[in-house]
Amino acid sequence: MPIPTPNLYPPFNIVRLSHVELAVTDIKASRAFYVDTLGLQVTDEDENTIYLRALEERGHHCLVLRKGPEPVANALGFKLFDEPDLENAERFFKERGRAVEWVERPFQSPTLRTSCPQGIPLEFYTRMDRLPPIHQQYKLYHGVKPLRIDHFNCFSPDVDEAVAFYNDIGFRVTEYTEDEVTKRLWAAWTHRKGGVHDIAFTNGTGPRLHHIAFWVPTPLNIIDLLDLMSTTGYVDNIERGPGRHGISNAFFLYVRDPDGHRVEIYCSDYQTVDPDLEPIKWDLKDPQRQTLWGAPAPRSWFEEGTLFVDTPVSPARLDAQPIVAP
């Protein structure tokens, strides 16, 4: 199916991705990983919940870790431009038969909770508590020196369907992988904020969360993190990389947290602000699409992901397989 024509005037204005809430089974182990090892900053916490932000962020949190009985993703959060956009978003999802509810979230303005047609739980808000800047407090920089949350990637049973829906609400495709036999999408990268992606979709059993990603200053920070993880008991949590993607041109590393949630450490992609920027097409069988250089992705990277809370999954409708490491 062809990439849809970008919707430059969507029914409500999404500024960017904002945050993700993950359920974790051991809050202390998760704190040791995300704070002591990766270097995210604690903005609030109690015995069951930790709120974290990265070093360039002024919003209260980009990641919420909440103790739960099993490791799932509770919601993907997006910031809207202003209050009328919230009302328009509520109307949009209701008209498409999606359940909506207004929820109270600490440190956020009233928040609209709903889901996309494939079942991904979504939350929209307009205002989050602002915190003083810390990007020049270099004494706080440790771990991989995470600067900001960059994107989500989700397994989708039908990438064409996912792209069509998110295009309706203003996400623009920057790059995509097409299966040459069926002409269907195997993966697509879509954005709001002017980078390569705020949310991407990968063919597979879903919906499931494939990974969340944090932007870091340089590739050297990733090398430093590998040294740190290999000598502090986390060597087995290193899943893939380092390497450079063909798609996005990003320098990357994938690691798994103590519950198996996948985190990408990411830098060096490019700007995509122009509304008439043409998407870049990749062939599924081109090995450099996933890895411009570096080892091919392991099978776990294509098959394992985090379930969304209370969300059933279905198998992929496209039976196509890229190159997988032995």
Paired tokens of 34: 């995300």
Question: Given this model, what pLDDT does residue 323 score?
Answer: 64
Residues in the chain: 326
**CATH code, 14-127:** 3.10.180.10
Q: How far apart are CA 143 and CA 204, in angstroms?
A: 32
In a structure prediction context, what are the per-residue pLDDT tens digits for the chain, which is 326 residues long? 679 999 999 999 999 999 999 999 999 999 999 999 999 999 999 999 999 999 999 999 999 999 999 999 999 999 999 999 999 999 999 999 999 999 999 999 999 999 999 999 999 999 999 999 999 999 999 999 999 999 999 999 999 999 999 999 999 999 999 998 899 999 999 999 999 999 999 999 999 999 999 999 999 999 999 999 999 999 999 999 999 999 999 999 999 999 999 999 999 999 999 999 999 999 988 889 889 999 989 999 999 999 999 999 999 999 877 766 65
Residue extent(s) of CATH 3.10.180.10 domains in the chain: 14-127, 141-307
Give the per-residue pLDDT at 321: 75
Q: Cα Rg for the chain, rounded, in angstroms?
A: 19
* Domain spanning 141-307, CATH architecture: Roll (3.10)
Q: How does DSSP classify residue 160?
A: H
